[in-house]
Structure 1
Amino acid sequence: MIPDPSFLTVRDLYVQFKTEDGVVKAVDGLSFGLDRGRTLGIVGESGSGKSVTSMAVMGLHDPRYSEVSGEVWLDGENLLTATPRRMEALRGRKVAMIFQDSLSSLSPFHTVGSQIGEVLTKHTGASRREARERAIEMLARVGIPQPKLRVDAYPHEFSGGMRQRAMIAMALVCDPELVIADEPTTALDVTVQAQILDLLKALQEETGSAIIMITHDLGVIADVADEVMVMYAGRAIERGTRREVLKAPGHPYTWGLLASMPHLATDPDSPLRPVRGTPPSLLTLPSGCPFHPRCDYADRVPVDLCSTERPDLHPRTGHSSACYLSQTVKDQIRG
């Protein structure tokens, strides 16, 4: 069981891709929920299923190459059973996505203002003049200097941080109720990154939107998320509030992610402590817990449970982790 909020509920989501080598289980039975005005941080290594999950919520997987099943309820409507025409109407208006690479996501042949205005025209029927005025307003809203001049600029004339702000303006021009931000601060310097995160938080307070923040950076999660879900091999392996997951993590994988982060108090000459090994192939997942081949504590669990039985998140709404280690052993390990 998972929380059943009134806004977003994902139940038993599966996303599979057929390849010449077999079926890739990119998302494998994922469930989570999110209320309005809240931010869910989804964290994990590359290949854990974070972006594939967001694409499924947006209805962007091509059915010719993928198989998506389960339920994605948004404000009482199951998006996985919606028609392509209905999803087209919802995208941008009800749910919007900020993509990772703003340069490739923006058309180089059209001005930034025309691309922002096109979203408004498509969903509201606004005139060209109204769309241009709204684009200027949105550029000012996201902190672009001289918006009346910048509205006619092309993406290559913007810096990386400005392009990302323009992407946020495009995503929010119709005031969507759910915003999915997929690595929105990747490749930005720390100052611009902080500005982008502050902007998203301010806009959320202004509009009351729900945000899914997808990242591999636990520092970003610590800054913006209300709740955190840790993914590994297409599954949720830990879930809880930000404080619960970051201050008292219950899964060895989360321990490893936290230990691999540099800290200001750490000796700058000390080596980083990465999670050993590599993520498993999604074509041939190991039996039992998918993390057990990389786990330093699997031998602390009796009768080889880790390698034979798949652990699931505890069926309660609070902090839980998919791990067979007893709480006593976890406390001993964590000191």
Structure 2
Amino acid sequence: MTAFLDVKDLRIHFPTDDGLVRSVDGLTFSLERGKTLGIVGESGSGKSVTSLGILGLHKGGRARMSGEIWLDGEELIGASADHVRRLRGKKMAMIFQDPLSAMHPYYTVGDQIIEAYRIHHDVTKKVARKHAIDMLGRVGIPEPTSRVDDYPHQFSGGMRQRAMIAMALSCDPELLIADEPTTALDVTVQAQILDLMRDLQREFNSALIVITHDLGVVAELSDDILVMYGGKCVEYGAAETVFYDPEHPYTWGLLGSMPRLDRERTERLLPIKGSPPSLINVPPGCAFHPPLPLRRAHRGTGRNRGSRAAQDEPRPPRQVPHGP
């Protein structure tokens, strides 16, 4: 059975005066309908570049893209920019990281949802406005009939994120990409947004990609997890496997740097020392070279100390399936 989204050996490079920036370098993963993939990694690891590549937003720019992106049986890298543009919004959509900058400040929230809907549907503005009000109500905006005429700056941070979700879902996309959907939101609003995304995914049976550096968000939503470092995949597998039996030292570091309820309160969190490598001069082999304290500190990260994650020496990442 072919996956709904199948990415094979994706490479996205950007030529610069200093050299070629290998933002994404050989990424492979797949995603079924109704499932959620969490892509985790620190800033600069290639998470957002991957999502923009899937949406075709690098086409026409200076980016050099190679590999394959199959969406419901259609290959997107070799497709024309016009064809990908027709798919964007209807077949696939994205919730951008900062809704205040992603939404146009001079147009009302309703007008922007109406525009997105009418691009893909031959309906009157009146019908599109009714649909926009309905979508705002479904994502939990109070009094959507009046708030549809508000501007983005009149919404709170959580309401802007909800409005961005309403815009992304206005055409019932089969693939939804959420880039840091809960950034800069307080804990209560974060929980509401995550619950909303989970409920809407069930309703639309969408394939969902959640891009984040927050392992709590990933644990809440994801069926599978892909860990990125230096533009490459360093670990990929089922969420339970990655959390309880990680194989790569970078994953150990991520898990060791987050608070856990099953740890003693006196146990200190262990930050990952150093900086990510330059994507212009990526070292050969694995780009992540863990310091000795990290290698020792990962003991007990797994479900039990007898797991493969509880060995002193770093192990190579598990093989990423290449799909059919």
Q: Does 1:218 align with 2:235?
A: no
Residue aligning to 1:124: 121
* CA root-mean-square deviation: 2.2
Alpha-carbon separation, structure 1, partners of 2:312 and 2:136: 55
Q: How does 1:152-231 map to 2 (within 5 A)?
A: 152-231=149-228
Q: Does 1:12 align with 2:17?
A: no
Query: Which residue of the other structure, out of 76, 88, 92, is the alignment partner of 1:91?
Result: 88
- Give the C-alpha shift of residue 38 in structure 1: 0.2
SS in structure 2 of the partner of residue 80 of structure 1: coil
Residue aligning to 1:232: 229
Gap runs ≥5 in structure 2: 297-310
- Give the C-alpha shift of residue 277 in structure 1: 1.3
Alpha-carbon separation, structure 1, partners of 2:272 and 2:170: 40
Change (3 A) 1:190 1:206: same
Alpha-carbon separation, structure 2, partners of 1:286 and 1:253: 16
Change (3 A) 1:25 1:315: closer
Farther-moved stretch of structure 1 (22-31 vs 275-284): 275-284
Deviations 1:279-301 (A, max 9, x none): 11101111221112656549966
Deviations 1:157-192 (A, max 9, x none): 000000000000000000000000000100000110
Q: Does 1:55 align with 2:52?
A: yes
Q: How does 1:279-298 map to 2 (within 5 A)?
A: 279-292=276-289, 294=291, 296-297=294-295
Q: Could you tell me whether the CA contact under 8 Å between 1:180 and 1:212 is conserved in 2?
A: yes
Q: Could you tell me whether the CA contact under 8 Å between 1:111 and 1:155 is conserved in 2?
A: yes
Change (3 A) 1:268 1:156: farther
Q: Could you tell me whether the CA contact under 8 Å between 1:103 and 1:155 is conserved in 2?
A: yes
Farther-moved stretch of structure 1 (207-216 vs 265-274): 265-274
Q: TM-score by structure 2 length?
A: 0.90
Q: Could you tell me whether the CA contact under 8 Å between 1:5 and 1:34 is conserved in 2?
A: no
Alpha-carbon separation, structure 1, partners of 2:147 and 2:291: 50
Alpha-carbon separation, structure 1, partners of 2:289 and 2:190: 34
Alpha-carbon separation, structure 1, partners of 2:13 and 2:234: 19
Residue aligning to 1:314: 319
Q: Does 1:42 align with 2:39?
A: yes
Alpha-carbon separation, structure 2, partners of 1:44 and 1:315: 17
Gap runs ≥5 in structure 1: 319-335
Q: Does 1:65 align with 2:62?
A: yes
Residue aligning to 1:331: none
- Give the C-alpha shift of residue 88 in structure 1: 1.2
Residue aligning to 2:302: none
Alpha-carbon separation, structure 2, partners of 1:294 and 1:149: 56
Change (3 A) 1:125 1:280: same
SS in structure 2 of the partner of residue 81 of structure 1: coil
Q: Does 1:260 align with 2:257?
A: yes
- Give the C-alpha shift of residue 61 in structure 1: 1.1
- Give the C-alpha shift of residue 269 in structure 1: 6.5
- Give the C-alpha shift of residue 313 in structure 1: 4.1
Alpha-carbon separation, structure 1, partners of 2:320 and 2:152: 47
